[in-house]
Amino acid sequence: MYVERLHLVNFRNYREITLDLGEGVNLVIGQNGQGKTNLLEGLFFISRFRGRPFSKITDLVQQGQPYFAVGAVICSSVRKVKISAMFGRGVRKIILDGSEKESVSAVRGILKAVMFSPEDINLISGEPYLRRSFLDSTIELVDPVYVTKKLAYKRALLQRNAVLSKWEIRGNALSAALEPWNIALAECGTYLMEKRRDFLLLAEQVLRKEYAILSGAEQDISISYASSVARQSWEETMAVSKEAFLNSLNKNIQEDVKARCTTIGPHRDDFILMVSGKDARRFMSQGERRTAAYCLRTAEARYIFDKTGEKPVLLLDDVMSELDSGRVKRFARSSFFVEQVFITDTSLDRACEFPISRVIEVERGTARVG
C-alpha cells in the first residue's frame, strides 16, 4: 500500500499543497518548525480521521481559516481509491471515489498508516491510559467488531458508574441494579482483553527481533498484560472468561461502592515491558525507551499486515534525532517490510544511510518534491 498523491488545504501551516508521491523511502527535509511533522500528520489523518494524541480536529485548521481539507489517491494490492474530506465550522464532508459518505467509518482505515513521533516515548514511561489508547487504536483499525464492543463497553460502564455514584438510594437492591451492566461489561470486556492479548503476543516477538537489531545486542524482552480483573499471571490473565469477569465484579463491589465507580476492567488495564528482568519504565535510558517505542510501532505495522494482508505506510517523525551513528546505520539497514516510508530530518547527513527514493523539501508551510 502507498499514497500516490496528497493534497492539503488550510491544514496546520499549509495553505495549499499537492504532492505526487510513490513507493520507497520518502525523505522529508526541512528545518525545525517548517511543517515536516504537519505533512506526516496530514497522511495520518487520512488514515484514522483523527488528530494525533492531545490534538483535536479543530487544532488542524490553519489559524484564521474556517475549514481544512485533505485528499489522497491511495494504491493498495487490490484497488486504487481517491479520498477527500473537509472539516470546519459548519462543514463536514467526506467523499470516496466521487461519492459522498455520511460517516468517517466509511473511509477510516482504507489508508493503513502507522506513525512514530518523539512523544511515543510515553508509551514506555507514561501513564497507563496512553498504553490502553495505543492498544485500542491499533486493533480498531483492523477489527470493526472491536470498535462496536468498545462503544458498548463504554456505555455500560457509564450506566454502572451512574448507579454506583448514588448507591445509597438503592439499598439492598444495589446488586440487582448493577447486574445488567455487569453482564454487558463482562461480555464486551472479555472480547477487548482477548484481542489485546493477540496483539501483545505478536508485539513481544517483534520487539525481541527489532530491538536486538537496533541496539546491536540480544535482549531478554517480555510483555505482560496487567489485568485489573484477573490480577494473576500472564497465562491466567489471558484466559479470563465472562464468568470470571462477572465473579470479579461481584467480589469487588465494596471497593466500587467506596470509589463510586467501577475500579476493574479493561478501562483500568495496562501492559508492562520488561527488558532483562527490569521494568522498562524505570530502568531504561531515554535512548533505549525511544528504541523500544519505535519497536512497538513496528509491531503495530506487523499486526496490521497480519490481519489485513496490506503493508501499512510508515510515518517516522524525527526518529533519528536521539540515535547515535551506530544505531542510525543499523536502523537504515533494518528491513522496512512496507512499500512506502516517510522519514523526517533536518538534513541529508544522517539520511544518506537510507535507500532514498525521493526527497520532499519543506519550508515555511510549502512542500515540493526535489
CB 15 within 8 A of CB 25: no
pLDDT, one tens digit per residue, over 271-292 is 999 988 889 988 888 888 888 9
CATH 3.40.50.1820 fits 1-112+310-370, yes or no: no
- Measuring CA to CA, how many Å separate 87 from each of 9, 46, 112, 256? 11, 12, 21, 41
Read off the pLDDT of each residue in 139-146 and give the average, rounded to a whole number. Answer: 95
- Position 38 scores a pLDDT of 96
DSSP string, 49-105: SS-STT--GGGGBPTT-SEEEEEEEEE-SS-EEEEEEEEETTEEEEEETTEEESSGG
| Superfamily of domain 126-286, CATH level 4 | RecF/RecN/SMC, N-terminal domain (1.20.1050.90)
pLDDT of residue 235: 45
In tens, the pLDDT along 331-349 reads: 776 656 789 999 999 988 7
Mean of the per-residue pLDDT values for the chain?
A: 90
> Residue ranges per domain, the chain?
1-112+310-370, 126-286
